[in-house]
Structures are given as structure tokens and as C-alpha cells.
Structure 1
Amino acid sequence: MARNEQLVRQHKLLQILEANRFGRTLDELREAVVTELGLGTLHERSVRRDLEALQAAGIDIEMQESQRGRIWKFGPRGRAAVKVAASATELIALSLSRDLLYPLAGTPFWQGIESFWNKLQEELPPAVRKHYQEYRQTLYVRGMPAKSYQKQQGILGTLHRAILEHRIVDIEYQPPGKDVQKRTIEPYAVVFYNNSLYILAAASEIPEGQERIRHLKLDRFLKAVALDQWFQLPPDFNLEEHLGQGTGIFSGGKPRDFKIRITARGARWVAEDPWHPEQTIDQQADGSILLTVKAAHELEIIPRVLSLGTEAELLAPEVCRKMIAGVLRQAANQYGPAS
């Protein structure tokens, strides 16, 4: 049994009760939880204990007698708890955040965002709504890709449930330019990075003690099937620390120090757009800088160095310096006289 199986059931019970204002019987709740979570069996006693635990946590859930028998439903305080007041300034900030998260369209996360956004607007006084609409005409979010995860909605739902339940998943995965791969993974988390979703997971075929964690782009998933097998997160694993080791989303070995010399002109761009929160900068007498930044994979650094053109030079590691030299030679040949 997954360690947080009870927590997953309780969350699902709240969603079911929220969608059924007239309540459900204990058996109806049990059947709904079994169906929506894809469980094999579930006893009514477990559902009752979950409901009692939610009541003990302060959530207003009532048991009432009805023609259908005893039903469970939200009490008046449970319904009122979802009403939220917002100022025009808060609404503007929330709407900008909603625009930034548009690549999540088609996912359960976006459905939650839209549901909350609609509820909030219904509660707004007309004056606040009018001020928001006028101000929003002067503030735009641009640069977001025309991207949606609608096609991967089912796959993401399976993976999200498996993350909560700590279930092992069989997947079909197709990296660019390669054949479809069949893998077995232990999904840890969903990561939203640079307008794309990634599944942070351990590769089951790699033995304990070796680097097992992979960052798999959701766009490349063709299929995901949750198995009736469970895993345990490593006791020393910390998601924030893991993601903080590099500048991007690539998974690789241990983080290395990358040293880059950047001209005085290029240094202004680095100041405007830092590469990493823990980067170090050594100011040089001529205005240039020596930038030292950690990364777990050279592809987190090399594209950024190349994007600065002659304003940046990678000094170390030497093997990555040679990789850049090779890329530049190929580019020079490619951009020779047109045939």
C-alpha cells in the first residue's frame, strides 16, 4: 500500500462532495472513489474513516438522513469556505499568472486554475471588475508558445495519480530522432520548466546506489500504464535541492563548475538575466567578468554561451570547450559560399 493512499482518497472525496451539492451515500462515495482512482477494492469502513478524518481536520462535512438513506455532504461552512474576495490589483496579478501558465491548458492543473478564476470573477463587485478590465488593456503577456497538453491529458492524469500513490508506471517514450522506447519508471514529481512539463522519475532498471533520476519531457510520452506495484521515495531525496543543482532541466551526473569569460558588453546581459541563483562573478579590471556556474549537463550551458556569440568564451571544463569548438567549425563550413 502506498504511504499516502489515505491522503489521495481524502482529496478525491472532497472533489466528489464538491461536485454533488445534494450529497452521496457511503456506498456511492465508495464506488466513485474506486472508479475515479482505479482501485481494485475499497471497504466502506475505509471511506467512513476518511470522512471522519476530514471532519476532525475542521472541514464542514455533515451526515444527514434522506429518502435514499444516510448521505454525506458539505455543510454551510464547507460551501462558504470557497468564497474569496479580491481587490483589482490582486485580480490583475492573478490574471497575469494565469497567462503565464497557459501552456498547462488541457491538464488537470489548468482545469483547477480556470475553475478558481471563474468562481472569483462571479464574486467580484461590478466596480472592481470594471477597474480590472480597463487596466488589463494596458498590460500584456507575450512570448508564450502556442502549446497545449490536451492530447496528453490522459497520460498526465495517470502519471499524476501514480505520483500521489507512489505507483510504478510502464511507459512508451520517444526521444527526438530515436525509436520508441519501453521503460519502467518510478515517478516523483511533475516539473513545469520553460513552458513545458517534465516528469521527474527514477529509472527502475538502474540499481540503487547509482544515478537513477531522469527528467522526461511529457511531449515525448506515447503511453503510460500504472502498475499494481509500489515504490518508496529515497528518504534523503529533496526535490528543491535536486532541481537547484543545475541551471536547466537536463538530468545528468553530479553538478560541475563551468567557467565562462564574458566581455564587458556581455556582462550587462548576464546582470539582467542571471544564469543561476548561486552563480559567482569575478569582476575584471577591463569590465569583463569571469562567471562560474554549476550545471549537471553541458547542454544547460553550451547553448547559452553560443547565444552570446563573441561576447562569451567557455574556459572550463576543457571537454566542453572542445565541443563548442567543434560546433563552431561545423557552422563555419555550413555557412560557406552557397552552392
Structure 2
Amino acid sequence: MDKIERITALHRILQAARYPVTVKRLQEELGCSRATVYRDLAYLRDALMAPIEGDGEAGFRYQAGENERFELPGLWLSSEELYALLAAQQLLVRTGGGVLSGALAPLQKRIEGLLADHASVSQWPVERVRVIPHRGRKLDEASFRVVATTVLERRQLGFEYRARSTDERTRRLVSPQRITHYRDNWYLDAWDHERNALRSFAVDRIGQARALDAAATDVPDDQLNQHLASSYGIFSGEPKGWATIVFSAKAARWVADEQWHSRQQGRYLADGRYELKLPYSVSRELLMDILHYGADAEIVEPAVLREQAKSLLELALSNYARG
């Protein structure tokens, strides 16, 4: 049992005790030496301001009436919980392109301090948590802050949006609903007032963002989930159909363990291949993921999706036909 776990256990013992608890019993409960019990009692009383009374002969307890009121200060976690929290914090910082590092810096210092305290080291080796961003796009921190602020404060948002597919610039007035981190990039899910519909926007394509005083219109959670999670990919919308893809026996070893969509249906075929079915609305992202597997993936249904994949492959092949 490490120091943090002992202090937590000691607090619970004293909090529940109606009578003074002897040092011998504390040794047995905590599995430590007599000297360690006294050090932990002193730490609990002097550093954490616990209302401890008593002595080594009669035993120790919390002062009458204080045992139910006193609680350990916040962020009092076990070593395993701290390790996991630190790893998650590093993930957020390193995949957010630096956007969140400033806001999370105080939390990082607090976690590292607690780890160093109970592990008896001066500095925790956070460099041993390795996160490699993949295809993350450059993000304007000012725009990100405005977007995040309007999401959390429930205010309307105005901005200029430059669509990646057409490069067209449009002015948008939206009620932000959620901000989503998806495949190393940030997206805004919002109610578009001019189009009177839910839309998803890549935050890196948002410019001249300004928070407005008007309150945001809230879309019910069930409507959001139905629209944003019902089909494949970040730009989902209502499903237009189901796609059936068959993967080779070799690719099946990967695909069978992958979660492409919450409503997906998968099964092994008799010859070792793997069949995957899932709903989709906008085909472009699904096609990109299927083509990623090259000759190890074949679209069976629907016919229109199969033809789209065939056309993309023919165009790609034509690039190598010249010269």
C-alpha cells in the first residue's frame, strides 16, 4: 500500500471510529510499521488539517462532531488513478496541437506534484507517455477558444467558414451544441440558423469567430444523437442506407477488432473472410476508410457505393497509365 492509499485508508478508519483507535490496530489495518503510522497521522493532521486527537497510549480519533464534516482535499487519488489521469492529460495536450496546454498546465503540475510526493522523486518522467498525432491539422487557437466558450456558455456564434471540398467561403450564424475531437482534429456540431438544420464544421476551417450575446438554441440530446451518431463518420446525418463490405482473411484479423460504428454488424464467413455491415449517409469518408485496405476489401452493397469505389480506383490507376 503506497502513501496516498494509506492516508486514504487511515482517514476512513478514523472517520468511522466512535472510540479512539490504537496504534497497534492501525498497524494491522494499514500493513505498516509503528513509525509509519505516526508519520501518516502527523501528515494527516499537519498537512491536511485533519481534526485528530489522542495519543499513543489511548489511541487516536477525529474530534467529536468533526468526523462527518472533515473530508480529504480534492484530487486525492490512488497512484494507479494518478498514472491514468496523467496519461490522459498528456494525450489531450499532445493531440490538441497545443490548444489545451495552457488551460491544463495547472492540472499537470498538481498531478506531477502528487506523484512525486508519494513516489519520493523530484520530477515525474512524463516523457515516458508517448503520443504520436496522426494527420492533425493546424488550428487557430483564438478561434478554438471562441468556439469552445460559446459551446460551454450556451451562446450563439458567428463565423466565416471555408469549405474544404469547394473552397467556398460563407458566413454562418449557429447555436453551438457540442465540440468533438475526432481523428486528431476538432469539429463543431451546431444548429445552423440560416439552413434550419444541424451541421458539423471543421474548427480549423472556421475564421473570424465571434461570440454573440444571444442565447444558443438547445437541440434535444436524442435529436443530436440521432443525427450525429446514426451514420458513419463525422458528417453523418440520417442514414441513406447500409453498406456491406467483405474483407480478406488477412485483413479480418484487424477489422474484426475495430469499432467502425456503434450499430455495425460483423461476422466471419466460412472461408475466413469477414463481413461488415454499417449505416452511412455521406459516402466520402467511408470510401476513404474502405480503400485504405486496398485489395483486401470489397464493397458488396449497395451498388451505387460499389460503383463509386470502382470509379475512384480507375481514376487512381489512370495516374499510373501515363508514360
Whether the TM-score (by the shorter chain) exceeds 0.5 is: yes
Query: Do the aligned residues in 2 keep the contact of 1:185 with 1:202 (CA within 8 Å)?
Result: yes
What residue number does 1:226 align with?
211
Kindly state the Cα deviation for residue 305 of structure 1 after the two structures are TM-superposed: 1.2
Query: Do the aligned residues in 1 keep the contact of 2:228 with 2:236 (CA within 8 Å)?
Result: no
* Change beyond 3 A, Cα 1:183–1:216: same
Pair 1:263 & 2:252 matched: no
Q: Helix, strand or coil: the match of 2:235?
A: coil
Cα distance in 1, alignment partners of residues 242 and 160 from structure 2: 34
Cα distance in 2, alignment partners of residues 257 and 311 from structure 1: 20
Pair 1:294 & 2:279 matched: yes
Query: Do the aligned residues in 2 keep the contact of 1:106 with 1:148 (CA within 8 Å)?
Result: no
* Change beyond 3 A, Cα 1:321–1:147: closer
What residue number does 1:188 align with?
177
Which aligned pairs between 1:140-289 and structure 2 lie closer than 5 A?
140-145=129-134, 152-176=140-164, 177-207=166-196, 212-235=197-220, 237-254=222-239, 256-289=241-274
Q: Deviations over 1:135-192 (max 9, x none)?
A: x67x54243148687x633222322332234332221111225132212212111111
Query: Do the aligned residues in 2 keep the contact of 1:245 with 1:255 (CA within 8 Å)?
Result: no
Query: Do the aligned residues in 2 keep the contact of 1:248 with 1:300 (CA within 8 Å)?
Result: yes
Pair 1:128 & 2:119 matched: yes
Cα distance in 1, alignment partners of residues 152 and 114 from structure 2: 32
Q: Deviations over 1:286-315 (max 9, x none)?
A: 111221012232123111211111111111
Q: Helix, strand or coil: the match of 1:325?
A: helix
Cα distance in 2, alignment partners of residues 132 and 269 from structure 1: 39
Identity %: 25
Query: Do the aligned residues in 2 keep the contact of 1:86 with 1:124 (CA within 8 Å)?
Result: no
2:82 to 91, 111, 132: 91
Q: Helix, strand or coil: the match of 2:147?
A: helix
What residue number does 2:50 align with?
none
Unaligned runs of 5+ in 2: 1-70
Q: Deviations over 1:59-110 (max 9, x none)?
A: xxxxxxxxxxxxxxxxxxxxx9764234443333223212321232543x54
Cα distance in 2, alignment partners of residues 281 and 296 from structure 1: 19
The count of aligned residue pairs is 251
Cα distance in 1, alignment partners of residues 216 and 76 from structure 2: 42
What residue number does 1:103 align with?
95
Unaligned runs of 5+ in 1: 1-79
**What's the C-alpha RMSD, in Å, of the aligned pairs?**
2.9
Cα distance in 1, alignment partners of residues 280 and 229 from structure 2: 9
Q: Which has the larger radius of gyration?
A: 2
Q: Helix, strand or coil: the match of 1:320?
A: helix
Cα distance in 1, alignment partners of residues 86 and 120 from structure 2: 12
Kindly state the Cα deviation for residue 336 of structure 1 after the two structures are TM-superposed: 1.8
Kindly state the Cα deviation for residue 122 of structure 1 after the two structures are TM-superposed: 2.7
* Change beyond 3 A, Cα 1:83–1:274: closer
Cα distance in 2, alignment partners of residues 82 and 320 from structure 1: 57
After TM superposition, the score normalised by the length of structure 1 is: 0.65
* Change beyond 3 A, Cα 1:284–1:229: same
Pair 1:332 & 2:317 matched: yes
Cα distance in 2, alignment partners of residues 317 and 132 from structure 1: 57
After TM superposition, the score normalised by the length of structure 2 is: 0.68
